[in-house]
Structure 1
Amino acid sequence: MNLQLRVQYAAARAGLPARSSLQRWASTALRGLGRERVALGVRIVGVAESADLNRRFRRKHGPTNVLSFPFEAPSGTRSEVLGDLVICAPVVRREARAQRKPERAHWAHMVVHGILHLRGYDHLNRRDATVMEKKEIRILEELGFANPYLS
């Protein structure tokens, strides 16, 4: 599969994952999608932008780690675009410290988690959450990261 990845750094870039890492994590999370080509956007933001988007699109207060915006092509058309991820750098850093896990591992988890949402997975109920978490664990292990749900 050919991944066309567009990355926007809208937060201080120091310590953020390189485009090549985001590409690798995304490509692995997209395996088995059944498409020849996929276009995906990743925007890394600060607290204010994340909080604004979270309020506007999810009606939730405050910033969040990752938001997924799936793209739906108009009826009767085809598109390579899967959607966009918006990842909040300060939240990812804070969560990694709080969970005592490597920041790089948490970044990979947020990319994989967001892409699974774009692929239609969710965690609104326990059964769906279990399916999604097992897929996340398998993908992250393939990438060389530990199970993110073990504390």
Structure 2
Amino acid sequence: MADVVSAEVRSRMMAGIRGKNTKPEMIIRRGLHARGFRYRLHDKRLPGRPDLVFPKYHAVVFVHGCFWHGHDCHLFKWPKTRKEFWRTKIDRNRAIDERAIVALKEDDWRCCTIWECSLKGRAAVPIELLLDRCSSWLCSNRRSSELRGIPKG
């Protein structure tokens, strides 16, 4: 099936997709800040430049988009066009994510990944519950956490 917009329009649309300060990230940031958590943003000194860095808890949080990071959920579908390009790009993103988490854990950082599907779509978790889970993890001594959507059914 052909794209419904021209190549120029599609290029402009894709270029407008942000890597920082995304809507899911802002929801998490505002919610955790309202609960009293203080953090740094996108610390360039740390592997993977985590979205949120909590020095007090020696913890980092990544807020990942399901498409860009190839998450196994209902929000991710492999594109039908330029298959090799997208496979390479998404596989590379996954490899970068994995290397960053391994390096952070080697430096004794605790890591949490919050997936976009936990915030939107049919598997979304109520935001207060999601923030409760993230807050609970931050205050715990658990090494890692992954917050994803809850499959309905």
**Structure number with larger C-alpha Rg:** 2
